[in-house]
A and B are shown apart, each in its own frame.
Chain A
Amino acid sequence: MNKPTSIDDECVIAAVLATKASVKSRALSHMLDRFTPSQIASHHIEHPPTLQECERMADRLELTAMNVTYVGARDYPTMLLSDPSRSPVLFWRGDMTALQQRRVGVVGTRSATAAGRYMASHLSFDLAERGIAIVSGLARGVDAWAHKGVSVAHMRKSSPTTLGIPVGVVASGLDVVYPKENLELWNFVSEFGLLLSESPPGTAPEAYRFPMRNRILAALSEVLVVVESRAAGGSMITVEEAQKRDITVMAVPGSPRNTSSAGTNLLLQQGCAPVVGVDDVLVALGLDTRSEHPPIFDSRPPLLAQDAALAATMAGDALTLDQLVLRTRRDVLDLAFALGRMESLGWVVNNGGWWEVLGVQSQSGYGGFHGIESHVGD
């Protein structure tokens, strides 16, 4: 009587199966290779979903505007299908065709420096302008700023056809926004791109789900760029997952003084390719679109020679005025004046008392300090 044969919506049944604690994820994944969700529900598990459960799930999915795909469904992402630890059922909002674009993962620490945030947003902006989708985790810090860069690209362009699309992979249910301050970004991603999770609606952001989320994030990226990461950060788990899947991992170099760049510097040491600009990533993707796209244009007025020297002296470190005085042996007044001038032009930023250089632009990207002689104090 209670057999849900009357419901022919395979998606809803798949969603209900995903919520069942008695059905192991791996087992379900295997079963879905051979059977449809309704066949599994009626023949292959001990406690089949009831009609009531299915109806409740259908209502819930409709209410939260969520779509469901499962292994075997036509829209299940092909790059995940062959993955050994694929998720049997995925919940999504937005546009699945986003995954047909070239995809670059941009991830990093939650406690990023201003320079790291700058790098994340600018790199993503430039990649999006070149039609490359940005995959990220919608966490605080680098993840959020990567998608903010994409959102700026979308806000500026009148025709979004050629733009790269944001792909967000999250750990909680799609209706549980975490962290809350990213709500706007969350909505942007589901409206203009693809928001993806393997957690059923209403799932809380439990800590163990984040490493699991990272494997999907890695699997969806063609190239993974780590902007800033501690030596044992969550981003390093994503890197591991990417390396397991033979996905190219690239890292943005940072100052050796910054512990928030310890992980990325370690990756560079191990032989990852460095990223200082969009071109590095394009080359890794096998693209060179320099002829088709306008060159990166930095609208900031150029720095005076002595200011450029000061920026080079800072060498990517976040420094207080005191530390700068000690490093440069210059007068406080003179230094504050120079910093004020550079700040008003947008070259440095005062981040809660610490001065940071925002991407001194050279021909090779935003982060390099090439061609400028260093005056680092002894």
Chain B
Amino acid sequence: MAFVSLRSATLLGVQGAPVEIEIHLGMGLPGFTIVGQPDESCRESRDRVRAALLSCDLPWPNRRITVNLANGANERKGGAGLDVAIAIGLLVVQEMLTAEAVAPYAFIGELGLDGSLRGVAGVVPLVAAIDDRIVVVPKAVLREARVVSQHTVRGVASLSELVQCLRGEQQWYQPEPLTSIREEYEQSDMADVRGQSAARHACEIAAAGAHHLLLVGPPGAGKSMLAQRLAGILPDLSDTDAVTSTIVHSAAHIALPQSGLVSRPPFRAPHHSTSLVAMVGGGTSALRPGEISLATNGVLFLDELGEFAPSVLDALRQPLEEGVVRIARARSSVSLPAKFLLIAATNPCPCGEGAPGICVCDDRAKQKYLRRFSGPLLDRFDLRVAVTRPHVDELLAAQPSESSQQIAARVMRARQYALQRGGCLNSALPADMLDVHAPLTEGAAKLLRNHLERGRLSGRGYHRVRRVARTIADLHSEQEHVEEKHVAVALALRVGVQPQFSGDRVAQ
């Protein structure tokens, strides 16, 4: 038999695409050619496959070998995940295996030179892309492959094992059945944060209503500590959200939790030197998901917001609005999920102190510093809170803080109220539905009016404050009207980032 066709899959963004691997063995000078727009790592599989076959005492045909990678889209095929399929195909054309024996299977995996099977990026979407066959994957990623797909999946450790299984000389490895392993997550607890009651309160509101949060404060005030604990008070992911997050993590080849399913909201904290591509995704020909996609359904924490490149920050604006990021390259374009809760921390001014009377920066220096963040980005933060280093005495005198568990319960309840009421979290409430879902009491309306009249609140800010106030009311189980105190808190937690001076008889 001089020709065989096998099934495998390649990855683009967070989506797998099935690929037909056609192998032809013909007369001519011995050689090995891969056609069908393979990328560099794909072309290298020639050497890996040869070494792996020889290592396993399997024959290598000294004839002219042509491998064609075919899928309908005529796209470039990348990755080393096609190695196993090519190796098995070569054994079929050499009649070491029968075509019938391999027909019900699809193969995903990279080969080591010793014939072992290695995991590849994006096993979850790759397996999901193949719908009518049993998928053989490296044993290392078997758990991952089984979690989200309904397919029959087989795991093997090496090429020789795979050959024996296909010949029927050995039983397929039987993994223990998937019990719903609930993992004990080691997450830091909000109870560790002493003092900072306003900031903790802001975190709670951010979690309950999915409001983006900006923490402004000097170094060492506990901004990062708060942000890290924020993921812990978010509720578990729903099944669909968990699958989405798992697929993204798999596509980026990030270690999955023990249970295989990302069931807790992810927490991503990229360093401020992160490049644009690493942030939004792209880069490789497979268009690897970026940090914002990895943070999907979880928290994206940007420490030292002012140190990020302006282009990186501005690239966040569209995903923040739409919840997806569309990446287009000359050869391909993909849309990646990017529905995250943005938590950012920044120093208030160049000297880092910020507190009036302590800070040595004049207004101009402060303005110059704050000009690093574009206005539209600052506008996306519903909550802007000043955080300070608590005084030692104050720290010791403070009551022990609430634990994450207690806060999470309230967050969960508030989220349920919001979902029952409007079908979405409060931050996503459309402006025209605010009067329906977040009616104001007279006092609340008056307070907002006062702020609008004095130019302290823009039109957009007005809607944002109302959404936050709705969340605050929900957290206090105040399901009907939004009261004046809720609006007052929403306003107090949305401090002007610009230094302000008003409210006196001279300026009026």
Please, which residues of chain B bring their CB within 8 A of the CB of A179? 364
B196, B487, B496: which contacts A322 (Cβ < 8 A)?
A: B196
B355 and A354 within 8 A (CB): yes
A323 and B356 within 8 A (CB): no
Please, which residues of chain B bring their CB within 8 A of the CB of A346? 502-505, 508
Given known contacts A152-B506, A323-B388, A140 and B196 CB-to-CB distance under 8 angstroms:
no
Please, which residues of chain A bring their CB within 8 A of the CB of B501? 114, 117-118, 349, 351
A259, A326, A334, A349: which contacts B195 (Cβ < 8 A)?
A: A326
Q: Which residues 330-366 of A have a CB within 8 angstroms of B?
A: 332-334, 336-337, 339-341, 343-354, 356, 358-359
**Number of residues on chain A facing chain B (CB within 8 A):** 65
B364 and A332 within 8 A (CB): no
Q: Which residues 481-500 of B have a CB within 8 angstroms of A?
A: 484-485, 487-489, 491-493, 495-500
Given known contacts A111-B359, A298-B505, A320 and B488 CB-to-CB distance under 8 angstroms:
no
A115, A340, A349, A352: which contacts B386 (Cβ < 8 A)?
A: A352
Q: Answer whether residue A110 sits at the interface, using C-beta atoms and an 8 A cutoff.
A: yes
Q: Which residue of A lies closest to B494 (CB)?
A: A350
Q: Which residue of A lies closest to B360 (CB)?
A: A111
Q: Which residue of A lies closest to B488 (CB)?
A: A340
Q: Which residue of A lies closest to B398 (CB)?
A: A326
A300 and B505 within 8 A (CB): yes
Q: Answer whether residue A227 sits at the interface, using C-beta atoms and an 8 A cutoff.
A: no
B506 and A125 within 8 A (CB): yes
Q: Answer whether residue A103 sits at the interface, using C-beta atoms and an 8 A cutoff.
A: no
Q: Which residue of B lies closest to A153 (CB)?
A: B506
Q: Answer whether residue B167 sits at the interface, using C-beta atoms and an 8 A cutoff.
A: no
A358 and B504 within 8 A (CB): yes
Q: Which residues 169-192 of B have a CB within 8 angstroms of A?
A: none
Q: Which residue of B lies closest to A112 (CB)?
A: B356
Please, which residues of chain A bring their CB within 8 A of the CB of B357? 113, 116, 228, 254-255, 257-261, 317-318
B505 and A337 within 8 A (CB): no
- When each residue 122-137 of chain A gets 1 if its CB lies under 8 Å from chain B and 0 otherwise, what string results? 1001000000000000
- When each residue 309-330 of chain A gets 1 if its CB lies under 8 Å from chain B and 0 otherwise, what string results? 0000000011011110111000
Given known contacts A332-B197, A349-B502, A354 and B354 CB-to-CB distance under 8 angstroms:
yes
Q: Which residue of B lies closest to A148 (CB)?
A: B506
- In the bound assembly, the distance between CA atoms of A228 and B360 in angstroms comes to 12
Please, which residues of chain A bring their CB within 8 A of the CB of B398? 326
Q: How far is the CB of A252 from chain B (nearest CB, A)?
A: 13
Please, which residues of chain A bring their CB within 8 A of the CB of B387? 320, 322
B390 and A358 within 8 A (CB): no
A350 and B388 within 8 A (CB): no
Q: Answer whether residue B99 sits at the interface, using C-beta atoms and an 8 A cutoff.
A: no
Please, which residues of chain A bring their CB within 8 A of the CB of B489? 332-333, 336-337, 340
Q: Answer whether residue A181 sits at the interface, using C-beta atoms and an 8 A cutoff.
A: yes
B362, B447, B504, B507: which contacts A111 (Cβ < 8 A)?
A: B362
Please, which residues of chain B bring their CB within 8 A of the CB of A215? none
Grouping DSSP codes into helix (H, G, I), strand (E, B) and loop, the B interface class, with mixed when no group exceeds half, is: loop
A125, A140, A298, A356: which contacts B356 (Cβ < 8 A)?
A: A356
Instruction: Sample 19 A-B pairs with CB under 8 A, ordered by A number.
Output: A114-B500, A152-B506, A321-B198, A321-B493, A325-B195, A326-B398, A332-B198, A333-B201, A333-B472, A333-B485, A336-B489, A340-B491, A345-B503, A346-B505, A347-B503, A349-B500, A350-B495, A352-B386, A352-B496
B500 and A351 within 8 A (CB): yes
Q: Which residue of A lies closest to B503 (CB)?
A: A346
Q: Answer whether residue A87 sits at the interface, using C-beta atoms and an 8 A cutoff.
A: no
B355 and A321 within 8 A (CB): no
Q: How far is the CB of A348 from chain B (nearest CB, A)?
A: 8
Q: Which residue of A lies closest to B485 (CB)?
A: A337
In the A-B complex, the 8 residue pairs with the smallest Cβ-Cβ separation, listed nearest first, are A353-B386, A258-B357, A340-B488, A346-B503, A321-B198, A336-B492, A113-B356, A318-B356
* Known A118-B501, A353-B497, A377-B394; further 16 A-B contacts with Cβ < 8 A: A113-B357, A114-B501, A181-B364, A257-B357, A318-B356, A320-B355, A325-B195, A332-B197, A332-B201, A333-B476, A336-B493, A340-B488, A340-B489, A340-B492, A352-B497, A353-B216
Q: Which residue of A lies closest to B349 (CB)?
A: A352
- When each residue 392-424 of chain B gets 1 if its CB lies under 8 Å from chain A and 0 otherwise, what string results? 011001100000000000000000000000000
Q: Answer whether residue A190 sits at the interface, using C-beta atoms and an 8 A cutoff.
A: no
Q: Answer whether residue B384 sits at the interface, using C-beta atoms and an 8 A cutoff.
A: yes
Q: Answer whether residue A299 sits at the interface, using C-beta atoms and an 8 A cutoff.
A: yes
Q: How far is the CB of B72 from chain A (nearest CB, A)?
A: 56
Q: Which residue of B lies closest to A140 (CB)?
A: B362
A326 and B450 within 8 A (CB): no
- In the bound assembly, the distance between CA atoms of A228 and B362 in angstroms comes to 13
- In the bound assembly, the distance between CA atoms of A320 and B502 in angstroms comes to 18
Q: Answer whether residue B348 sits at the interface, using C-beta atoms and an 8 A cutoff.
A: yes
Q: Answer whether residue B312 sits at the interface, using C-beta atoms and an 8 A cutoff.
A: no
Q: Which residue of A lies closest to B357 (CB)?
A: A258
B495 and A352 within 8 A (CB): yes
Given known contacts A141-B362, A317-B357, A353-B385, A322 and B199 CB-to-CB distance under 8 angstroms:
yes
A353 and B201 within 8 A (CB): no
- In the bound assembly, the distance between CA atoms of A318 and B500 in angstroms comes to 13
B394 and A326 within 8 A (CB): yes
Q: Which residue of B lies closest to A111 (CB)?
A: B362
B361, B384, B485: which contacts A353 (Cβ < 8 A)?
A: B384
Q: Which residue of B lies closest to A124 (CB)?
A: B506
- In the bound assembly, the distance between CA atoms of A348 and B503 in angstroms comes to 8
Q: Which residues 93-119 of A have a CB within 8 angstroms of B?
A: 110-118
- In the bound assembly, the distance between CA atoms of A240 and B358 in angstroms comes to 24
Q: Answer whether residue B451 sits at the interface, using C-beta atoms and an 8 A cutoff.
A: yes
A259 and B358 within 8 A (CB): yes
Q: Which residues 328-368 of B have a CB within 8 angstroms of A?
A: 348, 354-364, 366
Please, which residues of chain B bring their CB within 8 A of the CB of A359? 504
- In the bound assembly, the distance between CA atoms of A343 and B355 in angstroms comes to 18
- When each residue 233-259 of chain A gets 1 if its CB lies under 8 Å from chain B and 0 otherwise, what string results? 000000000000000000000110111
- In the bound assembly, the distance between CA atoms of A323 and B221 in angstroms comes to 12
A121, A322, A352: which contacts B197 (Cβ < 8 A)?
A: A322
Given known contacts A258-B357, A322-B388, A351 and B505 CB-to-CB distance under 8 angstroms:
no
Q: Which residue of B lies closest to A342 (CB)?
A: B503
- When each residue 257-287 of chain A gets 1 if its CB lies under 8 Å from chain B and 0 otherwise, what string results? 1111100000000000000000000000000
A116, A181, A325: which contacts B198 (Cβ < 8 A)?
A: A325
Q: Answer whether residue A154 sits at the interface, using C-beta atoms and an 8 A cutoff.
A: no
B503 and A322 within 8 A (CB): no
- In the bound assembly, the distance between CA atoms of A321 and B217 in angstroms comes to 12
Given known contacts A152-B506, A298-B505, A337-B489, A354 and B484 CB-to-CB distance under 8 angstroms:
no
Given known contacts A349-B500, A350-B492, A260 and B358 CB-to-CB distance under 8 angstroms:
yes
